[in-house]
Amino acid sequence: MILVFGATGQVATALQRHGDVVALGRAEADLTDPDVCAAAILSRPCRAVINAAAYTAVDNAEGEEALATKINGDAPGAMARACAEKGVPFVHISTDYVFDGGGKDAWLPEDAVAPLGAYGRSKLAGEVAVRAAGGTSAILRTSWVFSATGGNFVKTMLRLGAERDRLTIVKDQIGGPTSAKDIADTCLAIAAQLVADPSRAGIYHLSGAPDVSWADFAREIFRQSGLTPEVVDIPSSEFPQQAVRPANSRLDCTSLTDTFGVARPDWRVALRDVLTDLKGI
């Protein structure tokens, strides 16, 4: 059995489509109480643990950094220590926001981290705590998550594209959209292989290919969905937000492929599947 933290998030929902998964929601394991999270692991039989729960309100984190850090930093650290005590692998999902978004090269797992805001700092705190726990763990950084569930860019564009004839969308933030299903499948593959070979522990990257701007991502959403609003490219400076977003969210996924055999997925294929799922909802 794989124990998963998170029940309603995009990746947690995708993970629950697999039969050998038990998901813990807030009622079973409140991430604001790290000790409860650790106890949840120690009191249940499992062969691996995946943390798919997080504080993800990027802008709100600027005013709630202590809360974000408890959920994204302290709780994963407690989980990792419990996994180390229990002797089972721990897979933790992190983010491109741990980088400062400079340059144009894809970020390697070993590149220097320098978060721009509170959300990124809270996720980095989780990475540090997980690595310090001393057990068998893998940290999977990913970016631009989308699915047929929860709130995400794809669903927002579908709503706005149906309401408006013209949309202004940021052109100077570049990254790899990544489906929740691809993230879930990758987490399960990593967990299974860590059980067999703990030496594969480490930090890895997963993002969809090819890298695009938010504006070009929106264009593909509209192309596949049949919506026809005009997309106007704008710089980030014309779309101010409380938290600064990294301009360069490109992630180098080579080590993930080399170590676990997981190829970088084509997000356009995943988008087609998500749009099909949404038609059935």
**Residues acting as catalytic residues:** 119
**Torsion sign across C-alpha atoms 68, 17, 41, 91:** negative
Q: Which amino acid is at 251?
A: L
> Which of the 8 DSSP states describes residue 266?
B
What is residue 195's three-state secondary structure? helix
Burial class (CB in 10 A: 0-12, 13-18, 19+), 261: exposed
**Torsion sign across C-alpha atoms 272, 55, 5, 192:** positive
Helices (H) and strands (E) counted in the chain, each on its own, are 10, 13
2: Cβ contacts below 8 Å, ≥ 6 apart: 15, 18, 20, 21, 22, 46, 47, 48, 49, 50, 188, 191
Inter-residue contact 115 to 100 (CB < 8 Å): yes
Inter-residue contact 244 to 117 (CB < 8 Å): yes
Q: Which amino acid is at 194?
A: L
Strand partners, 204: 140
